[in-house]
Amino acid sequence: MPLAFAQQPASTASRPQTETPVTASTQALAHGRLLLVLPFENHTGQTSLDWIGQAFPEIFNRRLASAGFLPISRTDRVYALDHLGLPLNFHPSRASAIRLAQTLDADYVVFGSYTTTGTMLNTTAQVLDVTALKLGAQLNNQADLTHLLETLNSLAWQVTRQLDPTYAVAEQTFIATDSDLRLDAFENYVRGLTEGSIDERIRHLREAVRLSPHFYPAWLALGKAYFANQNFELAASTLGHLTKDDPNALEADFYRGLAFFYTGKYMDAEDAFAFDSTRLPLPEVVNNQGVAAARRGKDGTALFQQAIAADPNDVDYHFNLAVALRRRGDIAGAIREIDQAVKLRPQDSEAASLATTLHNEQQNPGAAKVNASLNTTQSGTQNNTSSNGPLERIKRTYNEASFHQAAFEMEEVQTMRLSALPPAERATALTKEGMQFFNRGLSLEAEREFQAALAGDSSSAAAHAGLAQVRERSGDLDAARQEANKSLQLQPNVTAHLVLARMDLQANQLSAAAGEVSQALKLEPANANAHGMKQALEQRGQQVP
């Protein structure tokens, strides 16, 4: 199925253009997983609480993505409303919601409203199945306004369970996900996404990261705001706050690479694009890596060929390969690529001009050799064109939907591969993936893997130990102790012993904690975490046998 909105042709100018989003396509692997979360309607009568309505999509999209769905981004939703001639604060009827969802190829729409009773926030959500034209059961939640984040996460869990009744991640894991996020920081973050003035957006986002320095979605939004304001130095440094294993690291490094590119730091730009392309080699990223390399006087031919292989209908990739081949003296190859570019976009005057030049050079090989030599020496300049021809074009738009779609498909392929393994091997592989998620701080994704491992092999001691760690992190200590004990009943292991030791230490049960640490050290005498626990106990006067 074609994309709902086609990407606009890139300008050849070296400055960034206004972003034109592209929605995800409902390809076979994603069928039934693409959903649109609308801002909830404010029925409180208090305009000061309007921002809460915009908060629902922000939380729901992140939680549903962790559950394996493909939420449509705010950027795409705003673009669709504009495309349909609807205002940003539009509250659709059921018919218009269906129309909006169909425009975006969404399988489901999530919408709702909220009221207040004193300090209590009352929320209602519903899920519309666009294909079946059927409304799901109404979902309700009530909590004090000061617990807004817990309310949003709890309701997101209810929506996820309605969409996928087999989803096994606990509600408490959802609720605990934002336990270290200040509510005032989150409010500033949401306002920073929705304010009309770029200066106001930046002001709110700066306040968000000041209040909660480890809330990385706010760092990403702030970096993108600086980028949109063409403050590229600040954009690059701000986006650098995201860690390489953050879920938004790919998007951050895409814009960081562009920011470096626009300030002439081509090596840094190439490194940023390379980080993305090694993890998710989408054509626009590979292309930009090639462009940054070319600005440094390197040959980007192979990267442009890779981009074309992934998307043979993009004019800019053929154009860039033509420029690169011309620089190498391969006039015949350059003509083949530029003719294809002109065929794909006849109105592209720059491509047509280059085509004329190349055909003339084919008729005059001597001049072509001179031009190739000049182009090679001038390839490191920052100008987009030189007296001997244009430079390669960079892609300025991060296609968020394509990134999520590609990641989704990779996950589906991995799931199919694992399903072919015997249960014990599948459980081992899923548990390993779960631990990787857990170590990155992604508890929801980690629990999903551990639960999948146990569904295939309930005797996996490692999966129970991993789940014990998730329960400990979410604050459900009784469940953590149960899972750790189940794990140890199946097989002695350090992870479960240390979960019990940490909880005993927290409860001031020093003797019990020492016993667990002692068991862990007997299993792995060199385990650094066990030695750290031992030292902590000894500092409190408790010897470890």
C-alpha dist (Å) from residue 462 to 143, 184, 355, 459: 36, 39, 62, 9
Q: Which band of pLDDT confidence, cut at 50, 70 and 90, is reported for residue 7?
A: very low
Residue at 305 is within a domain? yes
DSSP lists the bridge partners of residue 125 as 112, 139
207 lies in the same domain as 197: yes
Same domain, 162 and 207: no
pLDDT at 483 over 70: yes
Both 114 and 144 in one domain: the answer is yes
Angle CA(506)–CA(507)–CA(511) in degrees, nearest 5?
A: 95
What pLDDT is attached to residue 28? 32
Examine residue 217 and state whether it is found in any structural domain, yes or no: yes
Mean pLDDT of 91-120: 85
Are 37 and 104 contacting, i.e. CB atoms less than 8 angstroms apart? no
Write out the two tokens for 443: 């508890």
Instruction: Tell me the pTM.
Output: 0.83
Q: CA 351 to CA 338: how far, in whole Å?
A: 7
pLDDT band at 245 (very low <50, low <70, confident <90, very high): confident
CA distances from 403 to 228, 242, 288, 339, 509 (A): 20, 17, 15, 30, 48
The 10s digit of each residue's pLDDT in 497-524 is 999 999 999 999 999 999 999 999 999 9
> At residue 371, does pLDDT exceed 60?
no
> Does residue 227 form part of some domain?
yes
Residue 330 pLDDT exceeds 90: yes
| pLDDT tens per residue across span 275-304 | 888 887 889 999 999 999 999 999 999 999
In-domain check, residue 1? no
| 306-309: Cβ within 8 A, 24+ apart | 306/281, 307/283, 308/283
Identify whether 122 is part of a domain: yes
Same domain for 160 and 196, yes or no, is: no
Q: How many domains does the chain have?
A: 4
Cβ contact 115:44 at 8 Å: yes
In this predicted structure, the answer to whether residue 381 has a pLDDT above a threshold of 60 is no
d(CA 80, CA 97): 12
Share of the chain above pLDDT 70, in %: 88
* pLDDT tops 60 at residue 226: yes
pLDDT value of residue 375: 52
Gap between the Cα atoms of 221 and 360, Å rounded:
48
pLDDT tens track for 146-190: 999 999 999 999 999 999 999 999 999 999 998 899 999 999 999
Q: Quote the pLDDT of residue 132.
A: 86
How high is the pLDDT of residue 1?
25
Q: Are residues 132 and 58 in the same domain?
A: yes
List strand residue ranges (DSSP E) for 45-107, in order. 70-71
Q: Which of 364, 397, 430 is the last residue of a domain?
A: 397
Residue 346 has what pLDDT? 95
Q: Are residues 357 and 489 in the same domain?
A: no
Q: Is 271 a member of any domain?
A: no
Mean pLDDT of 33-58: 93
In this structure, the answer to whether residues 137 and 190 fall within a common structural domain is: no
Q: What is the mean pLDDT of residues 381-392?
A: 59
Look at 368-382, 469-483, 508-522 and tell me which has the smallest mean pLDDT.
368-382
Let me know how long the chain is. Answer: 545
Which pLDDT band holds residue 19 (cuts at 50, 70, 90)?
very low
Is residue 416 packed enough to be buried (19+ CB in 10 Å), middle (13-18) or exposed (0-12)? exposed
163 and 249 part of one domain: no
Q: Which element (helix H / strand E) includes 529?
A: helix 528-539
Burial class (CB in 10 A: 0-12, 13-18, 19+), 404: buried
Structure tokens at 63: 């939680």
Cβ neighbours, 10 Å, residue 59: 22
Q: Residue 222's closest CA among 200, 254, 247, 245? A: 200
| pLDDT level of residue 323 (50, 70, 90 thresholds) | very high
Helices 349-363, 331-344: crossing angle, 10 deg rounding: 150
Q: Evaluate if residue 373 carries a pLDDT over 60.
A: no
Co-location of 124 and 55 in the same domain: yes
Give the pLDDT confidence score for residue 95 in this predicted structure: 76
Tell me, what's the pLDDT at 13? Answer: 35
pLDDT at 237: 97
DSSP class of residue 4 equals S
| CATH code at position 215 | 1.25.40.10
- Distance, CA of 10 to chain centre: 23
* Assigned domain for 545 exists: no
Dump the DSSP string for 440-480: TT-HHHHHHHHHHHHHH-TT-HHHHHHHHHHHHHHT-HHHH
- Answer yes or no: do 477 and 440 share one domain: yes
Structural domain for 515, as ranges: 421-539
CATH number at residue 64: 3.40.50.10070
End-of-domain residue from the set 263, 298, 321:
263
Instruction: Indicate the residue among 161, 179, 197 that finishes a domain.
Output: 179
- Say yes or no: 172 and 50 in one domain: yes
Residue 333 forms part of a structural domain: yes
- Return d(Cα 470, Cα 173) in angstroms, integer: 8
Question: What is the predicted pLDDT for the residue at 3?
Answer: 28
Judge if 172 and 85 occupy the same domain: yes
The Cα 366–Cα 327 span in angstroms is 14
